Chains A and B, each alone.
Chain A
C-alpha cells in the first residue's frame, strides 16, 4: 500500500548513510588492524620471495611433469637407456638414481610420483628369455597424476612386451651384421625403450586433460583466499544474530525499516572482504604478473555474497544464539571440507568427489586454483562457480528480513 507518509528516497538514503556509518564505526578499528597486518605480510612476501616469471607464457593447460626414482639393482644398459630416453620426454622433470629406502622416502615426501626397481640380472635374464618382474611404487600423495600415468603404463604394457619380442629379431640381425653380442643387446634395448618413449611422447592424452596438476602451494594459496572471502559471512552472522528480535532491532525497524540494516550489513561485509581479499590478490599479481586475477576476484566476491546472504537468513532463525553460531561454523567447515579447500578432492574416492561437486565451493575452488596455476578460466567456469548466488539471494529475501 502506498502512503504519503512513506519515506522519500532522499530520506531513505540519509537513513542508510546514518546506519552504515554507525556499523562501519563499530568495525573500523578491527578493519584497520587487519589491513595493516595483511599489507605488512604482503610487503614482506614481495620483498623476500622472487617474482615468478612467465617462462612458458599462458598455457591452455600445463603439461604434467613428474620426477621418478630409478632403483637400478642391475646396473646394466637397461637403466642407462631408460634414464637417457625418458629424460628426453616432456613429462619427466627428473630421474633420481636411488636405493630403495631413499626412493620410498621421496615418494612419501611427494618429491616423486613413482619409483621403479630394475632387479639385478634383469638384462642377463632377458637375453635368455626368462622374465623378472619390474616393481613399481606409486605416490600416495599425487593421486590424480599417478592415476593418469599408471593407466598409461597399463595401456603400454602389452605393447612393451610386443616390442620387446620383436626386438629379439632385431638383436639377431644386429649380431649377424656386427658379430658383437654385447653391442647387439645394447642397441636392441635402446631401440625398444626409444620406441616406447616416442609413443608416450606422441600420445597427447595427458595434455588434453583440462585439469591442472596438483601443486601444494597453489592449493594452499587458493584455499586461503577462499577462506578469507568466507570470513565476512561469519561477521555478518554475529551481527544479525545478536540483533535478532531484540528491542534495539524493534527501534531500528520503526526508524528505518528492515531493508536498510541488511544492505548496510552486506556493505560492511564487503568492506571486510576488501580488507581481507585484496592484499593477497594484489600480492599474487605482483609476484606473477602474467596471472589474470579477475576470474578469481569475481568468484571470491560471489562466494562472499552467497555466504553472507545465507548467514543473514541463518542469523534470523528462531533458535538460541549459541546454536546459531554453532550452526554457522558448522556450515563454514562443511563448505570448506566439501569444496576441497581443507583437503584436495583428489584425495577422496570418486563417489565422494562426485557428491562434493554439488558443494557451493567446489567450482569456486576450481576457478581460484586454476587462476593461481595460470590456467585459462572460461566465462562458463566462473558462472558455474557462482551457482549458489541465486538460491542464497532467495533465502535472504524470504528468511533474512525482519518481519512483523
Chain B
C-alpha cells in the first residue's frame, strides 16, 4: 500500500521538505512533494530512472534550485546558503574526486578547500589513516582504484567537516560486496551518532537493509512504500 506523505500539522525537527516542485522546461520532474525526516534516521529514496531522485538530492544539496517549495533542517533554512552548506555533506552519483591525486591527497585537498585549520586537516588525515573504509589504499591514486575503493573514498570525502545531514546519491553503485558492507556499517554508525542520512539508490535490497523508511518517487510524487 502507498500513500502521499502529509505532515503540515506535524512538528518536524529534522529535514523538512515542503511543497517542492521542479521542472526542466516543459518536463515536470516533480510537483509539490513534501516529507519530513527526523534527526538521526536514514531515509532511502527509490524510483525508476528519470524519476527525479538525483534532482531532488541536488536541490537538497543546494547545487540546483527548485521552482518552488521550502527546505529546512533542524531550524536552518536552505535560503541561508553558507549556513546550510556547513551542515550538509554531499556525495554525488559521479565520482567527484581528482583522479590524479591519491586518496590521502584528496582528503587533504577537500579538507583544505572547506577552509579547515591546518591542525584539523592533519586530524582528518590521521582519521583517514585509521579508517577501515580507505586505510588500505590511502596512497593509491583514485584513477588506479577499483570502483568500490573509489566509492569508499568518495564517501570519506563527503564526511569531511562532520556534516549533520548526509546526502548520498547512489553511493553503492559499482561497489563490491565487501565495500558495500563496510559502507553500510559506517552509515549505521553515523545514524547511531545522530546524523541524518538521505540515500538514493536503485538497489532496493540494500536500501531496505539500512533505511528506516523508503520514499518512492513516482510520476512526480513521493509515495511511501509499505
Contact = CB atoms under 8 A, between A and B. Distances in A.
A1 interface: yes
Given A14-B117, A15-B112, A251-B96, 18 more contacts: A3-B81, A3-B82, A3-B83, A5-B82, A5-B85, A14-B115, A14-B116, A19-B113, A22-B98, A246-B96, A247-B96, A248-B96, A250-B58, A250-B90, A250-B96, A254-B62, A255-B114, A404-B62
A150 B97 CA distance: 67
B93 A254 contact: no
A18 B109 CA distance: 7
Nearest to A4: B83
Contacts of B19: none
B80 interface: yes
SS of B interface (majority): loop
Nearest to A11: B115
A255 B86 contact: no
A22 B80 CA distance: 29
Contacts of B33: none
Contact of A6 (B63, B82, B112, B116): B82
A63 to B, nearest CB: 58
15 contacts: A6-B83, A7-B115, A11-B115, A12-B115, A14-B116, A15-B112, A15-B114, A247-B95, A248-B94, A250-B90, A251-B110, A251-B157, A252-B113, A256-B115, A404-B62
A251 B90 contact: yes
B88 interface: yes
B156 interface: no
* Most-contacted residue by chain B among A1, A22, A255, A404 (CB, 10 A): A255
B70 interface: no
B82 A404 contact: no
B115 A247 contact: no
A253 interface: yes
Interface string A249-284: 011111110000000000000000000000000000
B61 A254 contact: yes
Interface residues of A, number: 28
Given A5-B82, A404-B62, A254 B115 contact: no
Interface in B152-198: 157
A154 interface: no
A247 B82 contact: no
A18 B90 CA distance: 20
A3 B113 contact: no
Given A18-B109, A254-B88, A246 B94 contact: yes
B100 interface: yes
A255 B113 contact: yes
A7 B82 contact: yes
A26 B100 CA distance: 9
Contacts of A18: 109, 112-113
Interface string A11-32: 1101101110010001000000
Nearest to B101: A22
Contacts of B62: 254, 404
A286 B7 CA distance: 77
A4 B75 CA distance: 14
B65 interface: yes
Contact of B92 (A12, A26, A247): A247
B65 A15 contact: no
Interface string B90-130: 10111111101000000001101111110000000000000
Contact of A5 (B61, B86, B98, B113): B86
* Most-contacted residue by chain B among A7, A11, A250, A253 (CB, 10 A): A250
Nearest to A8: B115
A4 B79 CA distance: 14
Nearest to A248: B96
Given A252-B113, A404-B62, A3 B80 contact: yes
Contacts of B114: 15, 255-256
Nearest to A6: B82
Contact of A404 (B64, B83, B112): B64
A4 B86 CA distance: 10
Nearest to B66: A404
Contacts of A1: 79-80
Interface string A360-375: 0000000000000000
* Most-contacted residue by chain A among B63, B80, B100, B117 (CB, 10 A): B63
Interface string B50-94: 000000001001111100000000000001111101111010111
A11 B63 CA distance: 21
A253 B61 CA distance: 10
Given A5-B82, A253-B63, A15 B92 contact: no
